[in-house]
Structure 1
Amino acid sequence: MENQRKIRTTGSEPVANDHGPSTMRAVMYRRYGGPDVLEFLETAKPEPGPGKVLVRVGAAGLDRGTWHLMAGEPRAVRLAVGMRAPRNPVPGIDFAGEVVAVGAGVVGFAAGDRVLGVAAGSFAECVLADARKVVQLPEGITWEQAAALPTSGATALQALQKAGALGTGTRMLVTGASGGVGSFVVQLAKLHGAHVSAECSAHKTDFVASLGADVVYDRAGGGAFSGDAAYDVVIDIAGNPSIATLRRILATDGRAVIVGAEVPGPSLTGMNRQMRAVLVSPFLRQSLSMLVSVNKKQDLTGLVELMSAGKLESRIDKTFRLGEAREAMEYLVAGSVCGKVVLVP
């Protein structure tokens, strides 16, 4: 890393640097671990090759997926991103910003365009993205609102798609409803007319109710899993209910979708419960499935249209400076976040 120069090791604000246009500041990590592995460094600015778009980042979204990659947990993720150390040392996936330059063969984008999308390494002043994973950002949507949308919004949308048809009166339970994905699931489900029950920590119930949930349960009380529950759909984002519990609260022909990896703790795959659900589902009248979301441009386009029309909202809990990425990750890991956390330059 001879082309990287450290500009801060402690505190929140970077030390002033006089660097030319060929460099940029970025959050970086050279080993797996907790928030303490994050550093704020000066590094080379990427150049857009064929099919690529270089974007000056206006805001970057922070989510649990970024935490998994930083921690290298579950261990299976290291097969994709580096066994001993991360191959891409700049974390972050979601971004919104302004196009700086485009590579050969790119159509539909030009310098100065407002865009949002997904690309590895968004916790930086500039990010290099595949043009196929970038969409135009309408006026009226802030960088922060846009950067909070891509991964969490797409995961929420795909979870509902996997759950099957929704309509007026569909009885739905959303666990982990106060987080980034959960906050979008509740809003999207209400757009479909579902009757949404939601579960979250006690101090987050008002926030979840403000998203439009019809009933909000305190997680500690266990009311969402009462004996007389009979949900048509359960979107489980919390990573806690057993397969037996999910089956007990589902209607006879109900559908459960388990989203993402199980919550923290050393694990090879982080998906033991999810895989058990998939294995037993063919033998049941109920449907149990798991979701590992993928980035689809058409999904992001649809979400942006809903946001532009005022039908969907990114709920931002807190905004941190790029040089405060360590503090932002600590805040996320502490479990107090309602909605999304974003970073700005």
Structure 2
Amino acid sequence: MKAIVYNKYGSPDVLNLREVDKPIPEDHQVLVKIHAGSLNYGNLVLLKGEPFLARFAFGLLKPKYPIPGGDIAGRVAAVGKDVKQFQPGQEVFGDLSRAGWGGFAEYVSVPESALALKPENITFEEAAAVPMAAVTALQGLRDKGKIKAGQKVLINGASGGVGTFAVQIAKAYGAEVTGVCSTRNLEILRSIGADHVIDYTKEDFTEKGQKYDLILGVNGHHPISAYKRSLNANGTFVHVGGSGAQLFQTMTLGPWFSLTGRNKMSSLLQRQNQNDLIYIKELLEAGKVKPVIDKTFKMSEVEEAFKYFEQGHAQGKVVITV
């Protein structure tokens, strides 16, 4: 089969399209014929081996997982004898980040817990755009943020992969949602249901005096004190992405702010979770959430796709067709 392979950390130039052995599913595994995949921040960490601490999970001197790619959508080609949830021919989508990665290939063998049935009302490309980003948004809002109907919620960095899902999931929970993005993305946020939009190139939401019950920081460079200033008395800030300095402050000062005041400030480490993916599937089928796709690349164009993605300006998701 064809697959994207790399054997050293570096820029997208180290990625190569090669012929490799087709995997054979073990007793507990599902063999998936992949139709599409997508890019996430974790793919850049896997590619570059940065930050360095990530190498303790992904390989200290060279990549532990030679085929990158986490989000996939495809069709079940075969199943091991112990597999209970799936059968050949079914359409599935999933997150391989805790199952050895390997999504940028024609086939992959993974535990059934990494997969869920694909919603029938979306394409393979749309389904591949969902798993990591949507589950990250869900876990940030629901698990860390304790979102409730009627709350005022702000999504900073609302036009990227996680952000576009966060806006829609927050709306599905009945929140009043404000999205922060650049000028060119304002209409995208309005089209997916944001109640209010703020153009960060023209105004700083932390200086407006508006208070929020929950802020999800998906991108940005504000100090944690600025977020705290924008929270209601019992408000919550959840760091999902953004500058390294912002993450450091959230991890070091966040617990102090949480202990000494009524605000809760924490960071999220997304975890692959089949039940959460199934919940997202139900939102997709109900039409409450839809993937926003910026660009689609062929597998032979993966190097170009990575270079585009690492610029950090994608409107929604970047998808790879296999």
TM-score category (smaller protein): over 0.9
Q: Given that residues 147 and 173 in structure 2 are in contact (C-alpha distance below 8 angstroms), is that contact kept between their aligned partners in structure 1?
A: no
TM-superposition CA deviations, 1:104-130 (whole Å, max 9, x none): 311121111111112211011111111
Deviates more, 1:226-235 or 1:296-305: 226-235
Letter in 2 for 1:322: M
Matched, 1:167 2:144: no
* Superposition TM-score, scaled by structure 2 size: 0.94
Match of 1:232 among 207, 213, 216: 213
CA distance in 2, matches of 1:207, 1:258: 23
Partner of 2:20: helix, strand, or coil? strand
Deviation at 1:306, TM superposition (A): 1.1
CA distance in 1, matches of 2:134, 2:275: 12
- 1:15 aligns to what? none
Letter in 1 for 2:32: V
Q: Gaps spanning 5+ residues in structure 1: where? A: 1-23
Compared CA separation, residues 222 and 277, structure 1 to 2 (3 A): farther
Deviation at 1:310, TM superposition (A): 1.4
Deviates more, 1:226-235 or 1:270-279: 270-279
Deviates more, 1:198-207 or 1:177-186: 198-207
1:282-301 map, 5 Å? 282-301=259-278
Letter in 2 for 1:75: F
1:8-19 map, 5 Å? none
Matched, 1:186 2:167: yes
Match of 1:253 among 234, 256, 260: 234
Letter in 2 for 1:290: S
Deviates more, 1:271-280 or 1:329-338: 271-280
- 1:205 aligns to what? 186
1:30-179 map, 5 Å? 30-119=7-96, 120-161=101-142, 162-168=144-150, 170-179=151-160
TM-superposition CA deviations, 1:184-222 (whole Å, max 9, x none): 000011112211111112221121221211121112223
CA distance in 1, matches of 2:216, 2:288: 21
- 1:279 aligns to what? 255
Partner of 1:88: helix, strand, or coil? coil
CA distance in 1, matches of 2:252, 2:208: 23
Deviation at 1:237, TM superposition (A): 0.7
| CA RMSD in angstroms, aligned pairs only | 1.5
Matched, 1:302 2:275: no
Larger Rg: 1
TM-superposition CA deviations, 1:258-301 (whole Å, max 9, x none): 014x447xx9xx94123124331222211101100101111100
Deviation at 1:144, TM superposition (A): 0.7
- 1:336 aligns to what? 313
CA distance in 1, matches of 2:301, 2:38: 13
Q: Given that residues 119 and 127 in structure 2 are in contact (C-alpha distance below 8 angstroms), is that contact kept between their aligned partners in structure 1?
A: no
Deviation at 1:241, TM superposition (A): 1.5
CA distance in 2, matches of 1:45, 1:263: 39
Partner of 2:306: helix, strand, or coil? helix
Deviation at 1:39, TM superposition (A): 1.1
Compared CA separation, residues 68 and 246, structure 1 to 2 (3 A): same
Q: Given that residues 33 and 106 in structure 2 are in contact (C-alpha distance below 8 angstroms), is that contact kept between their aligned partners in structure 1?
A: yes
Deviation at 1:139, TM superposition (A): 2.4
Aligned pair count reads 316
* Superposition TM-score, scaled by structure 1 size: 0.88
Deviates more, 1:202-211 or 1:318-327: 202-211
Q: Given that residues 95 and 132 in structure 2 are in contact (C-alpha distance below 8 angstroms), is that contact kept between their aligned partners in structure 1?
A: yes
Q: Given that residues 198 and 224 in structure 1 are in contact (C-alpha distance below 8 angstroms), is that contact kept between their aligned partners in structure 2?
A: no
Deviation at 1:251, TM superposition (A): 1.1
Deviation at 1:151, TM superposition (A): 0.4
Partner of 2:92: helix, strand, or coil? strand
CA distance in 2, matches of 1:65, 1:221: 30
